[in-house]
Structure 1
């Protein structure tokens, strides 16, 4: 993004869409930052992370936070700083510190939240090192940048390659003993790892709520979007942070959008410690939003989807669904 034309195009089109998808993610994540907290953004570009966090989390706006934005190209960070000031105002307690460097740069500050967005896929593709070896070095580098209570958030495009890379990184963190806070509900083998034709873990969000001017611009550029997608991995340092299912229950993360089933009703793929799940919504039951979490009793009879091999779990008809049906 050192080229002025490319940077201008990015700021006017790609930045707003990235803000839209990141803000959707930040609204649903458990992000708790202390006063005087440190957020490190590796591959910061035009400070998309800081801007999206400001938009999505008004509960954090009054906290004194320092953002250490790291990128090899300073100009996008300078433009991003100006945009953030226009958005948040001169008196915002959030302080932007822009550092020229890369993901391996040594930083004095330890992060309470360490974020990389749209960086890991490119970095891993640009090396001849086998992916598991690269992932081990990457994870070690990230952990060394964390405060004792810190967390790591990796956000990538919702493409197969990203899903595969994040699955390998996830396995490295699991083997090193770090809890996976999201989207995974477990530390078992990833059933949606993008390997050998398998599905990959990613989330789609409709674009209906994007600003009208952005949708109009996209149409005029012939780059219309019906939805946006992303893959992500959220990692902590303390085991007690992870949510555990109750006895006889499985925790299921809804991954895909809903789709019609041949036998009627709607289905939705999800993930649990038991493997890939097909949530089945029949008789007025409703599927979940992508990313939704639900606890369900472990089925007494194991039924599998013929197409995917996923364990079929019927969704209950909620009281709210009954009222809507009336």
Structure 2
């Protein structure tokens, strides 16, 4: 999987959130407070996963659930925007090299993704001026977003501003006019038109309107969704419709063909990136039995023009879209690229120095091959195959086009 280095000081993040949520009385929790918080986190986790059909549309209006979200889910959700931003920064067309970047965050919640964007750009040598517009239907979310924005910008060296609007984003005509370089929908697409019969078609229409009306001609629409099968497959259905509507997938897909994962109802694509959580999240995991040791999410980056991450890759590049499938005497993965989604196999007896990178692949990696054996419905690696893990070069490269 892509190895992205997350630079925010987690001690500062934890301290800031605790102080903010406790009205500045203390930067730590008592055992009783921690147990109460853990109970609320379990409730919210179940609403996100097992009981999505009863998830209130404005669940962050609930003080206890809002506190649970901010202490447990917000710290990890901050970093999910880093991967698509990193991929955009790799393109030689210098997609993110503007002096000023205007960002529209639809369904912003308490400003989670805004904090992630601030963190990403604050670590770059060239820092653009960031102009954020946050839109949410919950007033308290916007109030928290402004407070956290102020706390973070006081501690990072970056020029940034924030405007907030209380609007139901499903009513696109109410969104303030403007042209934006980045439009963000983070963990919100799956909540739009949720109880309506034709929710997929309505989401496609919504996104088509948003992109055509508000996205700059060289802008990027970034969608981040939970890594659940249901929500991700719905996003992939929307992806296919948006491609038909003329939009370009910048990443993670390396092809514009219909998504091959949709042909099997058990398949879906998502990221699973290693992450070292703050101390309080480790404590909560011990109390609840939950695990927050990696960042699991699905994402799409859409553009109006034809630029794509594949522009900087070899033509025979593929994305690894499964965990390693290990069995006696062989190692397999599913990869996706030209020709769709296919299984690729290497027998232990065929290991050589030229194909040893195959042993190190992880979900999300981009890989290329030479002298790969094409068996029709699957690929095979033998002793003469060369394997190159492109992610080990492009994602770890210190050079960004910013």
TM-score in same-fold range (> 0.5):
yes
Compute the displacement of 1:52 (Å).
Answer: 1.1
Give 3-state SS (helix, strand or coil) of 1:192's partner: helix
Residues 99-142 of structure 1, C-alpha deviations (whole Å, 9 max, x = no match): 11132232222110001011111114232225235423432333
- For residues 55-94 of structure 1, what are the structure 2 equivalents within 5 Å? 55-57=119-121, 58-59=123-124, 62-89=127-154, 92-94=158-160
Give 3-state SS (helix, strand or coil) of 1:239's partner: coil
**Once structures 1 and 2 are overlaid, which stretch shifts more, 94-103 or 223-232?**
223-232
Q: Tell me if the contact between 1:41 and 1:116 (Cα under 8 Å) persists in the aligned partners.
A: yes
Within the alignment, does 1:232 sit opposite 2:299 as a pair? yes
Aligned to 1:53: 117
Within the alignment, does 1:109 sit opposite 2:178 as a pair? yes
Q: Relative to 1, partners in 2 of residues 1:88 and 1:267: Cα closer, same or farther, differing over 3 Å?
A: farther
* Structure 2 spans left out of the alignment, 5+ residues: 1-59, 90-94, 390-402
Aligned to 1:161: 230
Within the alignment, does 1:121 sit opposite 2:186 as a pair? no
Within the alignment, does 1:131 sit opposite 2:186 as a pair? no
Q: Relative to 1, partners in 2 of residues 1:141 and 1:25: Cα closer, same or farther, differing over 3 Å?
A: closer
Per the normalisation by structure 1, the TM-score is: 0.84
Distance 2:187 2:318 in 1: 26
Q: Tell me if the contact between 1:167 and 1:190 (Cα under 8 Å) persists in the aligned partners.
A: yes
Compute the displacement of 1:287 (Å).
Answer: 3.5
Structure possessing the higher relative contact order (Cα contacts under 8 Å, 6 or more residues apart): 2
Within the alignment, does 1:99 sit opposite 2:172 as a pair? no
Compute the displacement of 1:60 (Å).
Answer: 7.6
Distance 1:279 1:245 in 2: 23
Aligned to 1:219: 286
Q: Relative to 1, partners in 2 of residues 1:170 and 1:221: Cα closer, same or farther, differing over 3 Å?
A: same
Residues 59-106 of structure 1, C-alpha deviations (whole Å, 9 max, x = no match): 287321111000001212221222232223177411111111132232
Q: Tell me if the contact between 2:248 and 2:308 (Cα under 8 Å) persists in the aligned partners.
A: yes
Task: Please tell me the root mean square deviation across aligned C-alpha atoms, in Å.
Answer: 2.8
From 32, 35, 38, the counterpart of 2:102: 38
Distance 2:371 2:240 in 1: 25
Q: Relative to 1, partners in 2 of residues 1:74 and 1:150: Cα closer, same or farther, differing over 3 Å?
A: same
By percentage of residues, which structure has more helix? 2
Q: Tell me if the contact between 1:136 and 1:169 (Cα under 8 Å) persists in the aligned partners.
A: no
Give 3-state SS (helix, strand or coil) of 1:55's partner: helix
Within the alignment, does 1:276 sit opposite 2:341 as a pair? yes
Q: Relative to 1, partners in 2 of residues 1:318 and 1:276: Cα closer, same or farther, differing over 3 Å?
A: closer
Distance 1:313 1:26 in 2: 33
Compute the displacement of 1:303 (Å).
Answer: 5.1
Compute the displacement of 1:18 (Å).
Answer: 1.3
Per the normalisation by structure 2, the TM-score is: 0.69
Q: Relative to 1, partners in 2 of residues 1:21 and 1:113: Cα closer, same or farther, differing over 3 Å?
A: closer
Give 3-state SS (helix, strand or coil) of 1:144's partner: helix
Compute the displacement of 1:191 (Å).
Answer: 0.8
Aligned to 2:365: 292
Aligned to 1:324: none
Compute the displacement of 1:226 (Å).
Answer: 4.2
- For residues 12-23 of structure 1, what are the structure 2 equivalents within 5 Å? 12-23=71-82
Q: Relative to 1, partners in 2 of residues 1:25 and 1:148: Cα closer, same or farther, differing over 3 Å?
A: closer
* Structure 1 spans left out of the alignment, 5+ residues: 305-310, 320-326
Q: Relative to 1, partners in 2 of residues 1:89 and 1:61: Cα closer, same or farther, differing over 3 Å?
A: farther
